């Protein structure tokens, strides 16, 4: 396998899920990956089927996190650009050929996009890696997962149907699943290709039109996918992309009165702002807001199987993963053994530029690097013991945003690194005594996204999986949101609504009930 899984021996990349049966990028793209991305490219956004600059002509420089050097630029759009894009999407929804297209034809368009992404797999993986700093094998894993989304939703488009409902004599009642209309997708910078795919796949399968605002730090692959969607034959106005700053383009999009539904992945604070904006128009939202996900290791666990997965779950994508396994709870009899084994592994981890393909790449930007090193410094100051620290490769460019992985032991469950989402390669270990304490600790943060349970006791597997408050629970494994087919989303502060799998199609549509009185 060519994804991050192969290095740490864990399940494949974010969203790719469950291991050996996952498609490998090698199968899709051949063994060669060109990591060359042309310099100085001026990317355009996609509005109403055309590549356009921002109305003001203002642009944002795009830097590579591996060296901090500018290599491209994107339009800096504001509310006027957003207005044009939303109106195009609204017209495409209410008047265009899209709304008259049978579901199976929407599915065929998604399948055509799947094929085009395969043809451009090398290019997209290289672009994603350069834009976000993620190791190239993670870029490849992301392309493979992205393809699965379009493949899955291409196949699902004509399989979502309503019900007939037994009602009063003389009546027939039935339901239809109808698209919301214009869906706004606000996408973060950590897995742009994949998160766009889970939004666009489900939204377009159900017949919505789309306006996407990627993060200004990672917009390039979103633009390329929208270009490929045009090539695939999606009608003008169906798949629009507006680039710009969150506080400008993002805020204008979430507040636009012609947007019918908003889906967002990112921080809880921005999620609150977006919900407030959407609430003014009384529109529905899906919120995927991150986590502080625990892995619970009982004394009877298969530790050889668990260890590489525990490491990978926090260093994959530099820990910048909403479903990162950032807390490991260890039953007391095996605490020392697990801590020592993790220490050994952590001290060997090396961060470096994306094209060196080391254990992890840089953080996305300076702010994120400082956030991570700030959390580490504060924890050290508070006296939390550092068990091990990885390194930054000696040849890593000085301008890059590197944060070495850090392992903390015996962490106070109330400490900031135990409660808050660091979004970096920082792992906290906790000791527990028995099942009750494990569950209490697992549920002791405001988040509830993913959890891992490691035990050979079958009855305990069921008990613990049911009592942990998390949208996904993996028993004797950990999938970092894994599996395109698997519903994904949070409890508590991790958000609401579900993406991925067939279930996402419910979020991306609304039920219409029709009642016939035939006497
Ligand atoms: P963020 O503010 O939540 O950004 C996510 C997306 O929202 C980006 O596209 C951003 O655009 C946009 N945005 C920002 N302000 C907005 C507004 N007022 N209205 C509408 N859209 C807006 O995340 P961040 O500041 O980049 O990262 C901060 C922290 O968020 C991280 O350290 C991490 O803890 C968390 N995070 C979580 C996830 C996740 O997958 N759950 C992903 C990313 C970040 P711009 O980037 O262009 O401003
Ligand atoms: Mg970038």
CA of 122 to the centre of ligand 1 (A): 27
Whether residue 455 sits in one domain with residue 375: yes
Distance CA 361, CA 97 (A): 44
CATH code, domain carrying 369: 3.40.309.10
Whether residue 209 sits in one domain with residue 332: no
Give residue-wise pLDDT tens across range 58-78: 999 999 999 999 999 999 999
Whether residue 172 sits in one domain with residue 128: yes
pLDDT grade, residue 265 (50/70/90)?
A: very high
For tokens 């759009």, the residue is 77
Mutate to test the pocket of ligand 1, among 77, 188, 198, 271 (most ligand atoms within 8 A of CB): 188
Whether residue 228 sits in one domain with residue 311: no
Task: State both tokens at 383.
Answer: 């006296």
Q: Which ligand is nearest to the CA of 82?
A: 1
Whether residue 449 sits in one domain with residue 313: yes
Which of 253, 288, 323 corresponds to the end of one domain? Answer: 288
> Is it the case that residue 89 has pLDDT exceeding 60?
yes
Whether residue 454 sits in one domain with residue 341: yes
Ordered strands of the 406-408 beta sheet: 386-389, 406-408, 426-432, 327-331, 294-297, 450-454, 472-475
Nearest CA to ligand 1 atom 16: 246
Nearest CA to ligand 1 atom 11: 246
Q: Is residue 519 part of a domain?
A: no
Give residue-wise pLDDT tens across range 307-322: 999 999 999 999 999 9
Containing structural domain, residue 390:
294-485
CA of 246 to the centre of ligand 1 (A): 7
Question: Does residue 319 have its Cβ closer than 6 Å to ligand 1?
Answer: no
pLDDT grade, residue 1 (50/70/90)?
A: very low
Distance CA 406, CA 493 (A): 25
Q: Is residue 405 part of a domain?
A: yes
> Residues within 5 Å of ion ligand 2 by Cβ?
131, 217
Whether residue 174 sits in one domain with residue 307: no
Question: Does residue 240 have its Cβ closer than 6 Å to ligand 1?
Answer: no
Which of 288, 303, 318 corresponds to the end of one domain? Answer: 288
Task: Please give the tally of structural domains in the chain.
Answer: 2
Distance CA 192, CA 231 (A): 20
Whether residue 301 sits in one domain with residue 239: no
Q: Is residue 10 part of a domain?
A: no
Nearest CA to ligand 1 atom 41: 290
Q: Which ligand is nearest to the CA of 214?
A: 1
Q: Is residue 497 part of a domain?
A: no
Q: Is residue 181 part of a domain?
A: yes
- Can you tell me which atom of ligand 1 is nearest the CA of 268? 3
Mean model confidence pLDDT for the chain: 93
- Can you tell me which atom of ligand 1 is nearest the CA of 253? 20
Nearest CA to ligand 1 atom 35: 267
Q: Is residue 258 part of a domain?
A: yes
Whether residue 308 sits in one domain with residue 250: no
Q: In the prediction, which pLDDT does 325 show? A: 97
Q: Is residue 96 part of a domain?
A: yes
- The DSSP string of 32-59 is -------SSEE--EEETTEEE--TT--E
Question: Does residue 448 have its Cβ closer than 6 Å to ligand 1?
Answer: no
Q: Is residue 374 part of a domain?
A: yes
Q: In the prediction, which pLDDT does 479 show? A: 86
Whether residue 402 sits in one domain with residue 267: no
Whether residue 355 sits in one domain with residue 273: no
Give residue-wise pLDDT tens across range 231-264: 999 999 999 999 999 999 999 999 999 999 999 9
Whether residue 91 sits in one domain with residue 155: yes
Give residue-wise pLDDT tens across range 168-226: 999 999 999 999 999 999 999 999 999 999 999 999 999 999 999 999 999 999 999 99
> Is it the case that residue 40 has pLDDT exceeding 90?
no
So which residues are the catalytic ones? 288, 322
CATH code, domain carrying 264: 3.40.605.10
pLDDT grade, residue 480 (50/70/90)?
A: low
164-165 and 171-179 strand pairing? antiparallel
Q: Which ligand is nearest to the CA of 424?
A: 1
């Amino acid at each position: 396998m060519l994804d991050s899984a192969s290095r740490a021996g864990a399940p494949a990349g974010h969203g790719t899920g469950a291991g050996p049966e996952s498609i490998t990028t090698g199968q899709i793209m051949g063994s060669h990956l060109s990591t060359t991305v042309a310099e100085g490219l001026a990317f355009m956004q996609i509005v109403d089927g055309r590549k356009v600059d921002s109305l003001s002509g203002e642009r944002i420089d795009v830097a590579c996190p591996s060296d901090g050097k500018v290599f491209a630029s994107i339009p800096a759009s504001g509310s006027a650009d957003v207005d044009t894009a939303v109106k195009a999407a609204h017209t495409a929804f209410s008047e265009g050929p899209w709304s008259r297209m049978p579901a199976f034809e929407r599915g065929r368009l998604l399948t055509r996009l799947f094929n085009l992404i395969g043809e451009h797999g090398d290019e997209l993986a290289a672009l994603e890696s350069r834009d976000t700093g993620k190791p190239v094998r993670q870029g490849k894993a992301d392309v493979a997962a992205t393809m699965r989304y379009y493949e899955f939703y291409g196949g699902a488009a004509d399989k979502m149907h309503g019900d007939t409902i037994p009602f009063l004599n003389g009546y027939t009642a039935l339901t239809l699943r109808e698209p919301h209309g214009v869906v706004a997708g606000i996408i973060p910078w950590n897995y742009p290709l994949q998160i766009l795919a889970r939004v666009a796949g489900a939204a377009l399968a159900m017949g919505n039109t789309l306006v996407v605002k990627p993060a200004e730090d990672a917009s390039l692959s979103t633009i390329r996918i929208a270009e490929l969607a045009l090539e695939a034959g999606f009608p003008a106005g169906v798949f629009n992309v507006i680039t710009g700053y969150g506080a400008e383009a993002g805020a204008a999009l979430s507040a636009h009165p012609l947007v019918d539904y908003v889906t967002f992945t990112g921080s809880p604070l921005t999620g609150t702002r977006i919900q407030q904006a959407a609430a003014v128009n009384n529109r529905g939202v899906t919120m995927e807001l991150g986590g502080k996900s625990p892995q619970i290791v009982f004394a009877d666990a298969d530790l050889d199987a668990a260890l590489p997965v525990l490491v990978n779950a926090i260093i994959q994508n530099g820990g910048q993963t909403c479903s990162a396994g950032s807390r490991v709870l260890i039953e007391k009899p095996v605490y020392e053994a697990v801590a020592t084994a993790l220490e050994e592994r952590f001290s060997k981890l090396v961060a470096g530029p994306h094209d060196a393909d080391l254990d992890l790449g840089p953080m996305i930007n300076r702010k994120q690097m400082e956030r991570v090193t700030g959390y580490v410094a504060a924890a050290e100051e508070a006296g939390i013991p550092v068990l091990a620290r990885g390194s930054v490769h000696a040849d890593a460019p000085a301008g890059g945003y590197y944060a070495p992985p850090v392992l903390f032991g015996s962490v106070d469950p109330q400490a900031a690194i135990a409660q808050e989402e660091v979004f970096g390669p920082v792992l906290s270990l906790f000791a527990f005594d028995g099942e009750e304490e494990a569950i209490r600790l697992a549920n002791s943060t405001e988040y509830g996204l993913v959890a891992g349970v490691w035990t050979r006791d079958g009855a305990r597997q069921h008990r613990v999986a049911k009592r942990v408050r998390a949208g996904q629970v993996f028993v004797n494994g950990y999938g970092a949101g894994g599996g395109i087919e698997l519903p994904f989303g949070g409890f508590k502060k991790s958000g609401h609504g579900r993406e991925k799998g067939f279930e996402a199609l419910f979020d991306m549509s609304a039920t219409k009930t029709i009642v016939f009185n035939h006497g």
